[in-house]
Structure 1
Amino acid sequence: MTERLPAAAWTRREDLAALVTALDPHAEGNCRWVGGVVRDTILGHAPKDVDMATTLLPEETAARLGQAGIKAVPTGIAHGTITAVLDGGTVEITTLRRDVSTDGRHATVAFSTDWRDDAARRDFTINALYADPRSLELFDYHGGLADLANRQVRFIGDARERIREDYLRILRYFRFQARFGSIPADKASEEAVSELAAGLKGLSRERVGWELMNLLGLPDPAPTVRRMAELGVLAHVLPEATEAGLALLDTLIDNEQAAGAQAVALRRLAALLPAGPALAEQVAARLRLSIAQRKRLAIAAARDGEETDARALAYRVGIEEARDRLLLAGQATAPLEGWNVPQLPIKGGDIVARGIKAGPEVARILRQVEARWIKAQFPDAGQVFAMLDEIVAHTSAQGG
């Protein structure tokens, strides 16, 4: 019985139909949907990206797109990839390939016209699924459909060989395990990632950081991260993670779910690390996180476990940063919902206008008013000016 891809909204897009017509006007079967778009559609998920594989050489792909008036961008032409720019989004179109050699980071490939060659060089069986764009017939060369049904994440062919082609596949394995896998996991895959984990040290920190953050951003990565630790993989990626950190990650995810909070990878990363901004900044730098990410991670890591005043905390560090700290501490985030951080209604000039000489005394009074304002839960300007007048009167009475 021929298995077919379930019809989904994206399969009925007119711009995709025009793309197929441009590449395969005579229905010769020279292009197929491939990878995540097929996998996710089978699972009933909305795919993030639409990718296509083709027997056409990249130059021919670009030429046919041009003839059809479709913008073609040579985003990875050395590896056979042309990006078609459509009304509904971009589509990466890659010529079938077979690996010639690899150094564990980069592969040398040759173009192919054999769909099995292309399938054999992919990482996991569930990612080597193809669909005819017209009939939606599915093509499965490595048992990916059965693995998808059984929630099994399994390398294609010899797991060690697949990993040696690109050691980043170790982290991809765990990311896919967290998304699609079940327990117990595939024994051969786990043995391979554990044995070859040291190869992760040869990868660029950017690639490692990207995969780690994508893993931590999944709905519940905690069981997978713990398994990474048990298999000796986490020590090569995040040696700073502790058993206490693994336990806190479990608790944090429970707290997030109870509060209906969005999953945030940086917050989960902070949970894995010992408290303290200095170490967090070192980790962020090693993983090549952005400046904004580094700042947020450091604030989360500065937790003290006793965040009792949600709004006062948000005033000091920001709404999202406060939410991180509260969830890590197991404190309520409800006071932050629908609340915007206010600005102190007075400025130094208001103090000078009351007869205080510009200088350190103005700054001292301003800090004193701000402290009272925060403690009083940010009352309106009238109450703040009353606080100011009281403090100025007291200062004057003291001869300040």
Structure 2
Amino acid sequence: MTRTLPPQAWAATPGGGAVLGALDAANGTTRLVGGAVRDALLGLPVTDVDLATALSPGDVTKRLEAAGVQVVPTGIAHGTVTAVTPDLIMEVTTLRRDVSTDGRRATVAYTDDWREDAARRDFTINALYARLPGGGIDDWFGGLDDLGAGRVRFIGAPLQRIAEDHLRILRFFRFHSRFGRGEPDAAGLAACAARANDLMALSRERIRDELFRILVLPRAPETFALMLSLGVLKPVLPEILPARVPNLAALAAREAEWGAEPDPIRRFAALLPQRAGLGAEFGARLRLSRRDAARLDAFGIPDPLLPGDPHAAAYFSGVEVARDRLLLLGDEGRSAWEALANWEKPPLPVSGKDIIARGVSAGPEVSRRLQRFERDWVASGCPLDAARVDALLDAALG
């Protein structure tokens, strides 16, 4: 594990250079922190640039605006502003210490002590600070050694870290799933199991977002098996049982083999008992969007058209839902899944006006006859030639 940050392409952009220059990064007044340092050291793409600074939020704002950088006070109550440049967007946060915490939010005060700022973070691998442009690393808690060893470890006492923010229970499992090697840190694992009930105090949105991040990871089945074996999810999702994890593992393997991107709603459905009403039940509990709740509803009951008639299934439920159902169905659905790869729903060649033109009086009977035609037309493979359409229409009106 290198102990010096490699050169960062974003820092050489006009926007990156303007922000670092305005905030006196060359003298260590402002440093790169957290996930950006961790990922860069691992050779992973850096997607979120977070900066920590000894400057006050007001001073940060003045300096950036003087350099022509747009500043948005996105988290000003916690000392965070967002620097917006044509090249990239960076979050800049003044050094902080916790005054009080309740497991959901913290009251903070500013500090000029870098180690104090690092001590309030969750894991050692997320408490690394890099001085730019040189790349020297500040590491007060052994994060570099932990990163090299593939070890996710709380800073200080795990129970205290969890008491400060209950979401750290789920974050522990997510970070171990991404960066861990071998067995999880025993002290952290024990603390997460002991404090699982703390998750009930969190908003369902935070729980949902964290679980969905775990679900799309390559080691999601292994991670969920671990959480379930410890009872971590029982307080918030008692319906998910260890016996369901093989379904998730099989789905993940199928996605990889068939070339499907991991999807959190699809993978979540693999962990749930198959029954009607999943969207209503879990949509409300996890604050799902209407679209995601509808997808979950569709996964709750089997589609009799699958795998035998994938085009008909896709016509009535949509291509995305039909392909997802086939992935959940199993290997017998692969040919049908592939058949829908570039399929588009054809337009219905008959309208209510055509029914009326055939002598049916306007009213409910028109809709009933049109529905019958549509059902028979789809079952016949959605033909568009006039003779076949006329024959199907005659049958619907007979």
TM-score above 0.5, yes or no: yes
The amino acid across from 2:92 in the alignment is I
Q: What secondary structure, in the 3-state scheme, does the structure 1 residue paired with 2:74 have?
A: strand
Q: How does 1:97-136 map to 2 (within 5 A)?
A: 97-136=96-135
Equivalent residues of 2:34, 2:126 under 8 A apart: yes
Q: How does 1:227-266 map to 2 (within 5 A)?
A: 227-266=226-265
TM (norm. structure 1) is 0.93
Equivalent residues of 2:278, 2:296 under 8 A apart: no
Change (3 A) 1:229 1:389: closer
* Cα shift at 1:230: 0.6
Change (3 A) 1:234 1:383: farther
Does residue 364 of structure 1 match 2:364? no
Unaligned runs of 5+ in 2: none
Does residue 350 of structure 1 match 2:354? yes
Q: How does 1:50-65 map to 2 (within 5 A)?
A: 50-65=49-64
Equivalent residues of 1:241, 1:273 under 8 A apart: yes
CA offset digits 1:248-302 (Å, max 9, x no partner): 1111111111111011101111111111232442112111111222111111222
Change (3 A) 1:353 1:306: closer
Q: What secondary structure, in the 3-state scheme, does the structure 2 residue paired with 1:235 have?
A: coil
Change (3 A) 1:9 1:378: farther
* Cα shift at 1:391: 1.1
Partner of 1:193: 192
Equivalent residues of 2:3, 2:144 under 8 A apart: no
Partner of 2:41: 42
TM (norm. structure 2) is 0.93
- Alpha-carbon distance in structure 2 between the residues aligned to 1:86 and 1:230: 46
- Alpha-carbon distance in structure 1 between the residues aligned to 2:344 and 2:145: 50
* Cα shift at 1:50: 0.6
- Alpha-carbon distance in structure 2 between the residues aligned to 1:67 and 1:14: 15
- Alpha-carbon distance in structure 1 between the residues aligned to 2:103 and 2:393: 70
CA offset digits 1:350-391 (Å, max 9, x no partner): 122223333444333323322222222222242552333541
The amino acid across from 2:76 in the alignment is I
Equivalent residues of 2:276, 2:300 under 8 A apart: yes
* Cα shift at 1:168: 0.7
- Alpha-carbon distance in structure 2 between the residues aligned to 1:115 and 1:2: 22
Change (3 A) 1:2 1:288: closer
**72-81 or 236-245, which moves further after superposition?**
236-245
- Alpha-carbon distance in structure 1 between the residues aligned to 2:177 and 2:41: 18
Partner of 1:217: 216
* Cα shift at 1:315: 1.1
- Identity among equivalent pairs (%): 48
The amino acid across from 2:64 in the alignment is L
- Alpha-carbon distance in structure 2 between the residues aligned to 1:239 and 1:9: 46
- Alpha-carbon distance in structure 1 between the residues aligned to 2:147 and 2:73: 32
Change (3 A) 1:351 1:239: same
Change (3 A) 1:378 1:150: farther
- Alpha-carbon distance in structure 1 between the residues aligned to 2:396 and 2:197: 65
Q: How does 1:30-179 map to 2 (within 5 A)?
A: 30-179=29-178
Equivalent residues of 1:5, 1:41 under 8 A apart: yes
CA offset digits 1:30-60 (Å, max 9, x no partner): 0001111111112222122110000111111
* Cα shift at 1:340: 1.1
- Alpha-carbon distance in structure 2 between the residues aligned to 1:122 and 1:253: 32
Equivalent residues of 1:179, 1:218 under 8 A apart: yes
The amino acid across from 1:144 in the alignment is G
Does residue 378 of structure 1 match 2:382? yes
* Cα shift at 1:233: 0.4
Q: What secondary structure, in the 3-state scheme, does the structure 2 residue paired with 1:277 have?
A: coil
- Alpha-carbon distance in structure 2 between the residues aligned to 1:381 and 1:141: 74
Q: What secondary structure, in the 3-state scheme, does the structure 2 residue paired with 1:250 have?
A: helix
Q: What secondary structure, in the 3-state scheme, does the structure 1 residue paired with 2:27 have?
A: coil
Q: What secondary structure, in the 3-state scheme, does the structure 2 residue paired with 1:225 have?
A: helix
- Alpha-carbon distance in structure 2 between the residues aligned to 1:92 and 1:311: 47
Q: What secondary structure, in the 3-state scheme, does the structure 2 residue paired with 1:237 have?
A: coil
- Alpha-carbon distance in structure 1 between the residues aligned to 2:220 and 2:292: 20
**119-128 or 308-317, which moves further after superposition?**
308-317
- Alpha-carbon distance in structure 2 between the residues aligned to 1:306 and 1:339: 16
Equivalent residues of 2:53, 2:94 under 8 A apart: yes
- Alpha-carbon distance in structure 2 between the residues aligned to 1:384 and 1:188: 71
- Alpha-carbon distance in structure 2 between the residues aligned to 1:328 and 1:220: 18
Change (3 A) 1:387 1:183: farther
The amino acid across from 1:34 in the alignment is V
* Cα shift at 1:171: 1.0
- Alpha-carbon distance in structure 1 between the residues aligned to 2:152 and 2:57: 31
Q: How does 1:262-281 map to 2 (within 5 A)?
A: 262-281=261-280
Equivalent residues of 1:153, 1:181 under 8 A apart: yes
